[in-house]
Structure 1
Amino acid sequence: MWRRIRTWLSLLFCRESLQRKDESHALMNSLFHAIPDLLFELDADGVFLNIWAQSDQFLPTKKSEMIGQSIYDGLAPGAEASIRKALNEALDHGSSFGCTVCIPAPNGTCRWFELSTSRMKQEEGQRPHFLLLSRDITDHKKLENELRKREQEFRTLVENSPDTIARYDRQCRCRYVNPALAKKTEGGASALLDRTPSQVPGMPQGIELENHIRRVLETAQESEFEFLWSGKDGEEFTSLIRLTPEYGADNGVISVLAVGRDISELSRYRRKVQQMAFFDDLTSLPNRALFYDRLKQLIADSAYHQNLAGVMMIDLDRFKEVNDSLGHPAGDALLREAAVRLSACVRDYDTVARFGGDEFAILLPEIRSGKDIGTVAAKILAGFKQPFRVAGRDVFVSASIGIAVFPDDARVADDLIKQADSAMYLAKRSGRNEFRFYSRELTILASERLTMASDLRRAVNNREFELHYQPQICTLTDSIIGCEALLRWNHPEKALVSPGSFIGIAEDSGFITDISEWVLLTAFRDAVSWNTRGGHSHKIAINLSARLFQSKNFLDTVRAALSRTRCRPDWIELEITESLLLDDGELALQHLADLHRLGFAIAIDDFGTGYSALSYLARFPVDTLKIDRSFIQNIGMDRSSSELVKAMLSLARTLNIVVVAEGVETTEQLSFLKEYGCQIVQGYLLGRPVARADFESTILHA
Structure 2
Amino acid sequence: MPASMTPRGALEEVNAFHDELVFADEAEPATLGLTRAAWRVLVVDDDADVHSTTTFALGNVEMQGRPLSFLHAYSASEAFELLRREPDVAVLLLDVVMESSDAGLSLVRRIREELGLRDLRIILRTGQPGYAPEMEAIRGYDINDYRTKSELTRTKLYTAVAAAIRSYQQIRALDDNRLGLERVVAASAELMALHGLRDVALGILNQVGLLLGQPAEGLLCVRETGHAHPDILRTVAAVGACRHLDGRELNVARGGPLAAAVERTLLNRRCAIGDGLLSLYFPGKAGRDFVACVPLERELDEHENRLLQVFAGMVTISLDNVELVTHLNQAAFHDPLTGLPNRTRLVELIDATLALPTRAQAILALVDLDHFAETNDALGHHFGDLLLVAVGRRLQSKLDPGLHVARIGGDIFCVLGEAGAVQPAPIQALFREPFHIDGQDVQVSATLGLVRLGEHDGAGADALKDADIALKRAKSQQRAGHFYFSRSMGVEIRERVRMMHALRGGFQRNQLFLAYQPQVDLLSNRPFGAEALLRWRTEDGRLVPPDRFIPIAEYSGLIVDIGEWVLRQACAELMRLRAAGHTAFTMSVNVSQVQFRHPHFLDMLRRALDDTGAPPEFIELEITESMAMEEPALLVEKLAQVKRTGVSIAIDDFGTGFSSLSHLQRLQVDRLKIDRAFVTEITGSARGSSIAEMVIQLGRNLGLSVIAEGVEDERQAQILRQLGCPLAQGFLYSRPLSPEDLLAWLADRALHQAA
The two structures have a TM-score, normalised by structure 1, of 0.38
The two structures have a TM-score, normalised by structure 2, of 0.36
Structure with larger Rg: 2
